[in-house]
Amino acid sequence: MRVKKINSWELEQYMLSELPGERMKEIDIQLKEDPALREEIECLKNSNKEILEQYPPDSVVPQILDRLHLEKTRESYSRSPFVKRLLIAAPTFAVLVLVFLLLPVMKEIPGPGTQGTPTDGTRIKGEETIDMTKPNLIVYRQKNDQPELLKKGTTVKAGDLLQIGYVAGEQSHGVILSIDGNGVVTLHFPEGKTKSTALEKKKNVLLGNAYELDDAPAFERFFFITSQTEIDVESVLAQAKKLASHRDRARTGNIELQEPLKQTSFLISK
């Protein structure tokens, strides 16, 4: 059997499970039989890790979003018109975004350990009003090639590209999820039910994910559940699904949570 050559781009897609099923299986087989190919995968992972450590997404993504053309993003990464998509879904894909989009902004990003605002005036209007002393959800929308800080109740539409961030305040752990008008509950942070819920105590921490809204009707409501101790994500999701099963309550009510869990929410309309 003739083995199809695997290039680096395919390996990146393989690591993200982005290849067609048959091609994924072919590479699975080759990996079992080819130590050199396994070593190449490890080298890619290590290279990606080094880049992300030097340019962490939560500090670089705002600069990228400021220059990213929304239509090009959709053309490059779209799979279906009304599917909620993870645009920066894993470290490998984040690296791909950085490689292709970072160069134009590198000169304007403060170096490690420095502070300041990019020289091209990319400070986002309204950010100075965010209360940094208590837990807060922050939602940006890409509009006219610029990031827009949304207010609660803002009207959005299917296809809008959102970036979610948070302020931890004095809380050390948190869970971020959303409920939409179809009653679907989506976990945004942590990345998995068994992952740590520890928060970063910075002024404004962006999640490593950008989302394109689907066509769920009426609203999308984000919840930020916080605590001073590790949170049982599975339990929080179970309670969120109970709330989501009642559309009117999901729009205005709270998730039933036990003390000492606290919650805040951010509603956007459709």
| Confidence band of 179 (pLDDT split at 50, 70, 90) | very high
User: Is the pLDDT assigned to residue 54 strictly greater than 90?
Assistant: no
For residue 155, the 8-state DSSP code is B
Count of domains observed in the chain: 1
| pLDDT over 90, % of the chain | 34
| Confidence band of 112 (pLDDT split at 50, 70, 90) | very low
Q: Which amino acid is at 257?
A: L
Does some domain include residue 117? no
Does some domain include residue 244? yes
Does some domain include residue 3? no
Q: Are 186 and 214 in contact (CB under 8 A)?
A: no
Does some domain include residue 39? no
Does some domain include residue 97? yes
Cα separation, 82 vs 128, whole angstroms: 34
| Confidence band of 225 (pLDDT split at 50, 70, 90) | very high
Cα separation, 268 vs 270, whole angstroms: 7
Q: Do the strands 262-269 and 219-227 form a parallel or antiparallel pair, or are they unpaired?
A: antiparallel
Mean pLDDT across 20-40: 84
Domain region containing 91: 55-107+130-269
For residue 89, the 8-state DSSP code is -
Q: Are 190 and 229 in contact (CB under 8 A)?
A: no
Mean pLDDT across 110-137: 56
End-to-end CA distance of the chain: 53
Does some domain include residue 125? no
pTM of the model: 0.57
Does some domain include residue 178? yes
User: Is the pLDDT assigned to residue 122 strictly greater than 70?
Assistant: no
pLDDT at position 29: 86
Mean pLDDT across 228-256: 95
Q: Please work out, in degrees rounded to the nearest 5, the angle formed at the alpha carbon of residue 225 by the alpha carbons of 127 and 270.
A: 60
Cα separation, 125 vs 254, whole angstroms: 30
Does some domain include residue 165? yes
Q: Which residues contact 232 (CB under 8 A, 6 or more apart)?
A: none
- Segment 211-221, tens digit of pLDDT: 888 888 889 99
